[in-house]
Amino acid sequence: MRTNLLDLDADALAAFFATLGEKPFRARQVLRWVHQRREDDFARMSDLAKDLRAKLAAAACVQAPRVVGDSTSADGTRKWLLKVDGANAVDAVFIPEPQRGTLCVSSQAGCVLDCAFCSTGKQGFNRNLSTAEIIGQLWLANRLLGGERPVTNVVLMGMGEPLLNLDNVIPALRLMLDDNAYGLSRRRVTVSTSGVIPGMDRLRDECPVALAVSLHAPDDALRDRLVPVNRKYPIAELLKACRRYLEKAPRDFITFEYVMLEGVNDGDAEARALARLAQRVSCKFNLIPFNPFPASGFQRSSPERIRRFAGILQQKGAIVTTRKTRGDAIDAACGQLAGQVADRTRRTRTLPIAEAQA
Ligand code: SAH
Ligand code: SF4
């Protein structure tokens, strides 16, 4: 079987070139062709010797997931539905803003962690994405968007828990950071986790990038219910892991994500408790209005409630942003990146698009 070059970070590509009897600088050249010039045809890599091009064509390929859906909402948010195998599809979402273009990338098909408010979690876990399937989302987005450097920021906030797939996520992150590939700074690449502590420590040691932690509740009783992995890694331990992470993080704060669920976690008391937590770790809050999906059992907090919640946090000295909801019309809002994965668990039958993918 031919080696998919999208699976290889710079070191792995150099090792692969060594097996072909080729020098490391040739590997760097090919890395630039593949990731910077988005070329998938070795025949067109014009500054490589003909025999190397032939060797590569026989031994390797450049294969990203297949685009099976492409929709753009009125605010410019663009979502691709990507088929990764016969049974699984994931989404990648591009969010254009005046000063930057952010790509939201998936790391798994489905998710095992089953957060109460998440449609990905409701579908159960299907499988880890490979490095090629993860970096392939960025490769494809740049190719399809065109222009110089359309994607300036990457967030691993699509489907799946990235810290449960670090073997494949870390090489993809290294490619995002590599000057011969995407050359993004560590501050412009954000991994979001529901709080998988061993993964946080490993990421810190192997490839520290900006970190977002999905907190969603100020105390263990509520967080146990909303984010079940909290039963294994409770808040006190999580905050300690955040402090350890900050020793090596490219930014001097952790972003705490907090989904606003009406009448569940959005009261004044929760805001005050959250502000107290914030004093224990250097952090910023990102309030995310809940994106409803059928049979979720939750409602989005009202804009007034979200403003009041943010106000209490700010009064106590916390830095707070509220996420704009974007791409609602194409189900591209974060946390909506699901419904396409074959529903093996049959826990729920949610988004109708699941049928369309079958
Ligand atoms: N598994 C990782 C990253 C993917 S989820 C994590 O949980 O952090 C990315 C973000 O979307 C998380 O903060 C998650 O809690 C949030 N999210 C999930 N479902 C949502 C929904 N229906 N509405 C709003 N945010 C949601
Ligand atoms: Fe998994 Fe994140 Fe969804 Fe929780 S919120 S089920 S960790 S994808």
Within this chain, do residues 33 and 169 fall inside the same structural domain, yes or no? no
The C-alpha angle with vertex 304 and arms to 294 and 325, in degrees rounded to 5, equals: 45
Q: How far is the CA of 308 from the centre of ligand 1 (A)?
A: 22
Lowest mean pLDDT among 21-30, 51-60, 286-295, 308-317: 286-295
- Residue with CA nearest ligand 2 atom 6: 121
Q: How confident is the model at residue 252 (pLDDT cuts 50, 70, 90)?
A: very high
337: CATH: 3.20.20.70
5/20 Cα distance (integer angstroms): 13
pLDDT at 335 over 70: no
> Which of 124, 131, 123, 181 has its CA nearest to residue 156?
131
Within this chain, do residues 9 and 124 fall inside the same structural domain, yes or no? no
Ligand 2 interacting residues, C-beta cut-off 6 A: 111, 113-115, 118, 120-121, 160-161, 194, 214
Within this chain, do residues 134 and 32 fall inside the same structural domain, yes or no? no
**Residue ending a domain, choose from 22, 45, 61:** 61
- Residue with CA nearest ligand 2 atom 4: 115
**Residue ending a domain, choose from 25, 46, 61:** 61
Within this chain, do residues 161 and 266 fall inside the same structural domain, yes or no? yes
Residue 333: the pLDDT is 58
Residue 231: the pLDDT is 98
Residue 149: the pLDDT is 80
pLDDT digits (tens, 9 = 90+) for 122-145: 888 889 999 999 999 999 999 999
| Domain count across the chain | 2
Q: How far is the CA of 319 from the centre of ligand 1 (A)?
A: 20
Lowest mean pLDDT among 47-61, 169-183, 326-340: 326-340
Q: Identify which ligand lies nearest to the alpha carbon of 229.
A: 2
314/329 Cα distance (integer angstroms): 31
Q: How far is the CA of 192 from the centre of ligand 2 (A)?
A: 10
Within this chain, do residues 57 and 130 fall inside the same structural domain, yes or no? no
Q: How far is the CA of 226 from the centre of ligand 1 (A)?
A: 11
Mean pLDDT of 301-307: 97
Lowest mean pLDDT among 10-19, 100-109, 249-258, 340-349: 340-349
Within this chain, do residues 137 and 185 fall inside the same structural domain, yes or no? yes
Within this chain, do residues 121 and 219 fall inside the same structural domain, yes or no? yes
Ligand 1 atom with the shortest distance to the CA of 192: 8
Sign of CA dihedral 271, 275, 281, 283: positive
SS3 275: helix
Within this chain, do residues 236 and 250 fall inside the same structural domain, yes or no? yes
- Residue with CA nearest ligand 1 atom 26: 335
pLDDT at 358 over 80: no
259 ligand 1 Cβ < 6 A? yes
Within this chain, do residues 332 and 310 fall inside the same structural domain, yes or no? yes
> Using an 8 Å Cβ cutoff, are 65 and 84 in contact?
yes
Structural element, H or E, at residue 3: strand 3-4
25: CATH: 1.10.150.530
258 ligand 1 Cβ < 6 A? no
Q: How far is the CA of 193 from the centre of ligand 2 (A)?
A: 8
Domain span holding position 45: 3-61
How far from 210 is each of 121, 252, 310, CA to CA, in Å?
Answer: 23, 9, 23
142 ligand 1 Cβ < 6 A? no
Within this chain, do residues 159 and 287 fall inside the same structural domain, yes or no? yes
160/147 Cα distance (integer angstroms): 29
Q: Is 279 exposed, middle or buried (0-12, 13-18, 19+ CB in 10 A)?
A: exposed
80: left (phi over 0), alpha (psi -120 to 50) or beta: beta
118 ligand 1 Cβ < 6 A? yes
Sign of CA dihedral 260, 263, 268, 272: negative
* Choice from 166, 256, 288 to test ligand 1 binding pocket (greatest atom count within 8 A of CB): 288
Within this chain, do residues 27 and 112 fall inside the same structural domain, yes or no? no
**Residue ending a domain, choose from 43, 61, 79:** 61
Average pLDDT over the chain, rounded to an integer: 91
Residue 133: the pLDDT is 98
Q: How confident is the model at residue 348 (pLDDT cuts 50, 70, 90)?
A: very low
Portion of the chain with pLDDT greater than 90, in percent: 85
163 ligand 1 Cβ < 6 A? no
Mean pLDDT of 99-115: 96
Residue 336: the pLDDT is 54
- Residue with CA nearest ligand 1 atom 18: 335
Beta bridge partners of 170: none
Within this chain, do residues 96 and 233 fall inside the same structural domain, yes or no? yes
